[in-house]
Amino acid sequence: MSHLFSTVVRCWGTRPRLRLSGYLWVAAMFAVLAVLEANRIGVFLVPPFGATLTILMLLPDAPVAQPYALIAGSVCGAAVGTGISFLGSGLGMAVLAMIAAFIVISLIHAYHPPAVALASIPVLLHPGHWSLVSSVGRAPFHRRSGRICGGNE
């Protein structure tokens, strides 16, 4: 059984390409998000942001990690979720928000999976009108390569 498991992991598993500094950077970003959340500066410590940081660090060249997909997708997901939250709350509305975000994000070619999950946050957690959209606009989505601003500095 262990041979089968090791074969599956070796053939289908991913190999992290991060060095210790990369893991420390991710830990520091999570700490910053936690401090911002604890100080009530905004809604920052939500699972989709953790997924986004992971994608940025481990899959920086993937289409879902590119600046347009990340920024436009996240803002769109947060905006759709916030819009749906004006209509109601609960699990059904969260599912509706995620489906709507998936459709809109696909239409604008800004597919970023954590953004679909982000659409459910305003409906489920009730952080206040537009607070999540403003948090996404200020969130620290910086890539190690600096290409989020368009250059390779």
DSSP state letters, 95-118? HHHHHHHHHHHHHTT---HHHHHH
Domain tally, the chain: 1
**Is 8 inside a domain boundary?**
no
Q: Give the pair of three-digit tokens for residue 145.
A: 């390569």
**Is 94 inside a domain boundary?**
yes
Q: What is the pLDDT along the chain (153 residues), one digit of tens a residue?
A: 677 877 777 777 666 666 788 788 888 888 887 887 777 666 666 788 888 888 888 888 889 889 899 889 988 998 999 999 999 989 999 999 999 999 999 999 999 999 999 999 888 887 666 565 555 554 444 444 344 433 333
**Is 16 inside a domain boundary?**
no
Burial of 120 (0-12, 13-18, 19+ CB in 10 A): buried
The residue segments making up the domain with residue 56 are 21-149
For 47-55, the CB contacts below 8 A with 24+ separation are 47/114, 47/117, 48/74, 48/77, 48/114, 48/115, 48/117, 48/118, 48/121, 49/114, 49/139, 51/113, 51/114, 51/117, 52/112, 52/114, 52/141, 53/26, 53/29, 54/26, 55/113, 55/114
**Is 4 inside a domain boundary?**
no
Q: Give the pair of three-digit tokens for residue 60.
A: 């920086």
pTM: 0.69
**Is 43 inside a domain boundary?**
yes
**Is 97 inside a domain boundary?**
yes
